[in-house]
Structure 1
Amino acid sequence: MKVLLFSTLYPSEQRPIHGIFVETRLRELMNTGRVDARVVAPVPWFPFKSDRFGEYAKFGATARHEIRYGLEVHHPRYFLPPRIGMTLAPFSMALGALGTVHRLRREGFDFELIDAHYYYPDGVAAALLARWFSTPLVVTARGTDLNLMPQYAIPRRLILNTAKLAGASIGVCQALMDQLQELGADPGKLHTLRNGVDLKKFTPEPRDEARRRLGLDSGNRYLLSVGHLIERKGHFVAIEALALMAPDVCLLVVGEGPERAMLEAQAKRLGLGARVHFAGMVAQQDLKWWYSAADALTLCSSREGWANVLLESMACGTPVVATNIWGTPEVVSNPAAGVLMESRTPKALMQAWTKLASAYPAREATRLHAENFSWESTTEGQWALFQELVRAHRASAVRSFPTP
């Protein structure tokens, strides 16, 4: 089956871990040998490549065409004007990608299905392309596209129109599909296919060895906070909670982002400079050492669809402390997995950590819980759904073709 994956959430040389979960799901499907795929991952147009423009410069520096793991990835540009960009984005994105998609067709890649990720604006743009090319469409919701964007009237209406046009909608957690149904989508088209975890890449390493490798004091206890350094991820909650904990508890922060300077200042202001370590960006293949070194992963997000870091940590034998939101209770579903916070506050994090430490699970039990979330079932479910939609589309085309 020839599949066109469409999403701005796809890694590139400039942003190698951006949307890596989308790439992983596609690679797992392609590993079955049943699918040939191309990726169209639009990038906002930006004229400059200088580092002084920060994240925007990465848009300008992104190559128009890349090969990742043997897979063609195309990055057409689209115009994203300030202020009104949220409303115009899906239309600009679809028009910006149109030439690339036409070229793929001319070169012989007659895709039979569009696999779009992130409902707004990406899924709405993909719906336009699906109509223009008369192709079945599947849209996967991943988090803020359904737990934030429908608060705005125009995006909400476009999301519902897309759900109606799409052959199927996929949620990475049940909570997202419940939300889409509440908005008015047809429940018969809604499917939950959770992200899996790479159980070979994320494996438990001896804690002492991991700490020696990272230069950490073996006598301390460590909480780990992984993610983009933005307000939504809640690193500031973890730092403030540290002040309520015993002095041998330290915090490891892995990630980069616009709030790093503010978070460093917060740690210094609270007198925690020596107990908070900012590791910066860490390559995905090296994350297992950080997970293995920690006593617990803490995730204080305000919004998440399905947080991959939770399963990655558990696969390394490290339990989690996390906010009780969206798909997280579907992951943290027994004591071996960790503890859910009662609220998104420093006090609640401290209390959840205390509860976890008082009945700390065996690493083997935590790893065993993660093994329930391999990619195999998601891949098989995705393949079955794609087959169903392509067959239905072919049958419909035959019925609509006039007989002589």
Structure 2
Amino acid sequence: MTVVEPFASSPEWMVEQFIHSQERGNLVTRITIPSYRFVFRATNLAAVLLAAACGGGGYGDGGGPQPIQDMQATIGPQGGELAGAKGSALEGVKLVVPAGALASDTRIAIKAASTDAALPAGTSGVGKQIQISPAGLQLALPAQLTLPVDASQVEANLRFAEDVKVWVQDAGQWAQTQQIDGADGTVTIEISSLAAVAEAGVDRPEPQDVVRFDLHPNPRFLNCFAQFPGDANRTPSVQATVVRGDLNDELTLRGRNIKPGLQFDLFTVQRSSLDADGKVDPTVPNFGLAWYQSEVKARSNGDVRVKIQTILLDEIFGFDPIVGLGPTNTFHIGFWFDNPQDAAACGFDPNQPTPFNGDHHAGPLAMISVPDATTGLGPLCTKPDTSTVPAHCNP
């Protein structure tokens, strides 16, 4: 193992010595390294341990430094923290024990799990699994545990950073703990006892809570936003994926073959100008109520990507008592040219802009969802009620 021992007399460590010895058959290396600084805080933390990216086989086996697999420190009533160093197996792991949490000096160790314990059904791990000892030790005040998160795995499970939780195992039983802070790359929870095993994860959405649908191009202006105008094999395509949540829903919009650099503005609207077959519907006079949701910009490769969190499925609505507008649903999604000039070559008059951007000076519709052929409702309604004419949505 590797023990990093700071010198309290000096805030910046200098290389002091390397001591090699055999302890129960393992090489023990005590190191002081200038790149890992020890700074006393005002609370006089008892210990701060930064796991150095060395150890494992040590320096005597000819293999060179190996990533550390565990870290440990003695933390007392003053409090302290353990943090995995960059490049180590425990990078991103951090345990902060506040003053007063421990009654006496306690040796605390964190290590990467050699074999991952299976998480509960319906759950996907999105980080590395760790083990903390002494397992089950009760704390007088809650500590904060931060774990690394693989953002790509969160996305693969159709979740956002805010959806990441931590599963903690004690006495063989898993318990789910909500985050107190989370961002792409880490999640932090509070713990009242040291967990035997902990891992960041997400609840996989149920199939009925995932809604996918395509947006269809406004035929008149297709060539003005197509990356490859006139190429039937590479026409613009955009798919929406909406995941139902407890408090709100998550929309991911992915598109390709869009003219690079072009900007648009995304809205949810009451009506679509296209019919169920994606053709212009001459009976639709306008889009009705519209909610501004996001800006959209095509990347250099022609891809577009948007993520938003808001109320979407079955319940999105607006009303305005001033003008006498009652609750009105906006079950369609579409986006408009941000710059009127971008659609001029396709016959749009820039002197007659639409209000579909923050400046209320936008171009025409580029792409939009289409209504269901039976209910006539937009795809954000997943619970249609056809007992009335027209059909309505059950919130």
Q: Which has the higher contact order (CA 8 A, sep 6+)?
A: 1
Normalised-by-shorter TM-score class: under 0.3
Q: What TM-score results when the alignment is normalised by the length of structure 2?
A: 0.22
Looking at secondary structure, tell me which structure has more strand per residue: 2
Structure with greater Cα Rg: 2
Q: Which structure features the higher share of helix residues?
A: 1
- TM-score, length-scaled by structure 1: 0.22
